[in-house]
Amino acid sequence: MTQEVVFICRRRLWRAGSKIMRCDQLADIGRRYLGDRYTFAVRALPNLETEAGAHAFAEGLSGRIVILLKGTGAILGEAGMEMLRGRTRGVGIDYVDARARDCFSPHADLHIAASRKGEAILNRLLARRGAGDGRAGVAHLTHHYDPRLVGRQMEDPGGLRAAYLGHPHNVYIPDLIAAHVTRIDAGGEGGIEAGFDRLCGFNLHYAIRPPDHAQTLARDLAKPFTKGFTAAAFGANVMVTRDTDDAEFYLGRDYPFLVEDHAPATIAEAFARAQGIYDTADWHVARDRMRHLRDLSAPAQVARELDVILSRLMVRDAVGLPKTKGAAPLSRPPV
């Protein structure tokens, strides 16, 4: 008998990138690798205008494992979360790229981070604000690279070629190097998949955020290392500022394309250095680290992490009572 897992998001996020990757794509990864023990569904949070509606919503999820995408729990409120926890086998909150303090609920059984920095933030928050029964914990679930990248390969451009894929307001390219970095708008003609196709012709992914974005993120918000995982999936290198969340964790302090600050001259010097070491031993050592990063963020590895998280979320039996300490552990054959 399989256990049903339901990802739930706010209705306004139904087409958002975070929902697609952390609900739809995670559900697909789960079906592919864990489908012998779990079924997966994705739902939008309905309008809950009355207490009866909240009860019906919670009742409709009886016996399921529920994972709420960032602010969904805040919309449910304390009473709604308590009702949900009373009927499900386990409730998790996936904070992804949201401010943890805005999404936190003491009625969650597991708080899920998409980055190592986010994991540290959640541990501090949980220690400060506590949990309903003291049993809640924190887990890290790697932000996988987009499965639509599977089968796409980087073509040899015959020299260093740099590109940025994403929304124009999320990148800072100083005038000094603007002619050397191709901008690919994720919302352009053909959408993100057309952008992925174009990225095949580039071997350096430029991903330096605007200075004001970096300052905002540094305070109390964590972002997953998605641009790094995307570059890794192609086999390309990535250029980011050293303070980018998780960059040093995954790439090491001596990775040659970590930029010290946002000063235009600093970025230009870093780019010139990248041009100078192209196709040298240092370039290929950096590429090796990116291959390792690709393995860490591949769907099969993320499925292993998801499997452990689902086991941790199986905290109550089918009627909402806490599982006994003597319950047999869930067997997890290798993925």
Q: What is the pLDDT of residues 91-116, one digit of tens each?
A: 999 999 999 999 999 999 999 999 99
- Specify the pTM: 0.91
Do 11 and 138 have their domain in common? yes
Average pLDDT over residues 316-325: 69
Do 165 and 268 fall into the same domain?
yes
What's the average model confidence in pLDDT over 6-19?
Answer: 94
User: Edge-to-edge strand order for the sheet containing 137-140?
Assistant: 38-44, 3-9, 65-69, 90-94, 110-113, 137-140
For residue 218, pLDDT over 60 is answered with no
Judgement on whether residues 175 and 284 belong to the same structural domain of the protein = yes
Report pLDDT for 269.
Answer: 97
Q: Which domain holds residue 164?
A: 148-296
CATH of residue 108: 3.40.50.11380
According to the model, what pLDDT value does residue 132 have?
60
Is 327 exposed, middle or buried (CB count within 10 Å of its CB: 0-12, 13-18, 19+)?
exposed
Alpha-carbon Rg of the chain, whole angstroms? 21
Confidence at 331, pLDDT banded by 50, 70, 90: very low
146-183, pLDDT tens digit by residue? Answer: 999 988 888 888 899 999 999 999 999 999 999 999 99
* Residue at 41 is within a domain: yes
User: Domain for residue 242, yes or no?
Assistant: yes
What domain count does the chain have? 2
- The answer to the question of residue 326 being in a domain is no
Q: Which residues have a Cβ under 8 Å from the Cβ of 264 and sit 6 or more positions away?
A: 174, 175, 176
